[in-house]
Structure 1
Amino acid sequence: MATSVSNVHVSKHPCLRAKLSLLRSKATNARDTKQLVHEIATIVGCEALAQGLKTTETGKSVTPLGYEYTTESIGPGSVCLVPILRSGLSMVDALQSLLPEPVPIHHLGMYREKTTLDPVEYYNNLPYHKAGDQSKIPELAIVVDPIIATGSTVCAAIETLRDWGVPRIIAISVLASEGGLQKAAAAWPEGVDLWVGAVDAGTDDNGMIKPGVGDIGDRLFLTVGK
């Protein structure tokens, strides 16, 4: 099972499970859906960054009472956030609030082709760099997307970032299917850690997680039934 793979981490936080139960309900409106995704992303993000980052001593400073203390910052030194459009935008504020300093946000726009369910990239604003120039490449990319259903979209994002030159990726999601998570875990095992709030058994013929939360993008942006 994907959940026993070393680069897959599933939260066991009881508050997250209760919030996910609320998120699953079709009675939950768009405003509450956005808030619940934010809160679940904060919980999973805390767990992911606790393992994925470290602190380093950076110098000395003085408190308002005049006491000297050692200052610390997080490592690695260069980090970026990569939301997958549309629904990944709902997790950006949660991750930014956890990081001590603002970090660059690079967007990837992807959608699933309706018949094949294959990912199609329609937008990419990763900074261009010349071959051999690693100065614009962060040491860590944090990919955020609420749902890993078939796994194809997150795998495409991983491939894009790997081709860009990122040496390490943390992917954070609210919910995944067992098969989708297994596929994502196998995409680049030595370079990617996946952190999810919960795992459902499978997907239906349309590639939607069962029981899942529905189309989270449509729920967030009030485009259900478009």
Structure 2
Amino acid sequence: MRHLTVVDHPLVQHKLTLLRMKQTPTAEFRRLVNEIALLLAYEITRDLPLEEVPIETPLMPARSKVLAGKKVCIVSILRAGDGLLEGMLDLIPSARVGHIGLYRDPVTLQPVDYYYKVPQDIAERPVIVVDPMLATANSAARAIARLKESGARDIKFACLLAAPEGLARMKEAHPDVPVFTASLDDGLDDHGYILPGLGDAGDRLFGTK
């Protein structure tokens, strides 16, 4: 799948296995999500534009590269997206941050909007949308649609796990948005959870179950 990148770095895969284990406690789960998010961000930002600027090293003048253009905006799909957000901000501390509040109706599995706040100049920035799970992809597709309504065009999506059903939905709704994940899992159960998965990412991040 051309729009899919599975980050199969050994450190990512090792940490993901620890995440999947049901006995992993909340604090450790949160730390591992943070670390994997940082590693995902490294891959996602590989093509950020650069420009040369004049600098002074301790030995001589030189020209060296810095990031060019508007700073990245990381958009978290609440609430579980905040787990990935923190790790990415460790790598990109100057990034702007947006939040989209969506929850999944337990009966229809369709997203319900309740919050939307992004930078006013979102249309001028590269955007990384983060949510731990790409399951049905209804929430992700809706969030990206909202961003496009605000003018965003350079959009990427990052998650810990993706299901084939979610990828198919994303490709149908937003074929221009590449997906970065640590694993493409087997599929979804009857409740829309990814299998083998890692459970409810939000509950495990925040200790709410």
Q: TM class, shorter-chain normalised?
A: over 0.9
Q: 1:163 aligns with which of 123, 127, 149?
A: 149
Which residue of 1 is the match for residue 90 of structure 2? 97
Aligned residues: 209
The 1-side partners of 2:39 and 2:122 are apart by 29
Aligned AA (1:30): T
The 1-side partners of 2:45 and 2:10 are apart by 19
Which residue of 1 is the match for residue 174 of structure 2? 188
Which residue of 2 is the match for residue 56 of structure 1? 51
The 2-side partners of 1:91 and 1:73 are apart by 25
2:8 is paired with a residue whose SS is coil
1:16 aligns with 2:31: no
1:19 is paired with a residue whose SS is helix
The 1-side partners of 2:119 and 2:13 are apart by 37
Which residue of 2 is the match for residue 202 of structure 1? 187
Task: Give TM-score scaled by structure 1 length.
Answer: 0.87
Contact 1:79 1:138 in 2 (8 A): no
Which residue of 2 is the match for residue 25 of structure 1? 21
1:110 aligns with 2:102: yes
The 1-side partners of 2:82 and 2:56 are apart by 38
1:221 aligns with 2:177: no
1:42 aligns with 2:38: yes
1:198 is paired with a residue whose SS is strand
The C-alpha deviation readout for 1:95-154, integer Å capped at 9, x for no partner, is 12222x5121111111100100001111101245xxxxxx55333111111111111111
Contact 2:71 2:96 in 1 (8 A): no
CA RMSD between the two structures: 1.5
Aligned AA (1:122): Y
1:148 aligns with 2:143: no
The C-alpha deviation readout for 1:150-183, integer Å capped at 9, x for no partner, is 1111101110111110011011111111111221
The 2-side partners of 1:186 and 1:207 are apart by 18
Q: 1:126 aligns with which of 111, 118, 121?
A: 118
Contact 2:73 2:122 in 1 (8 A): no
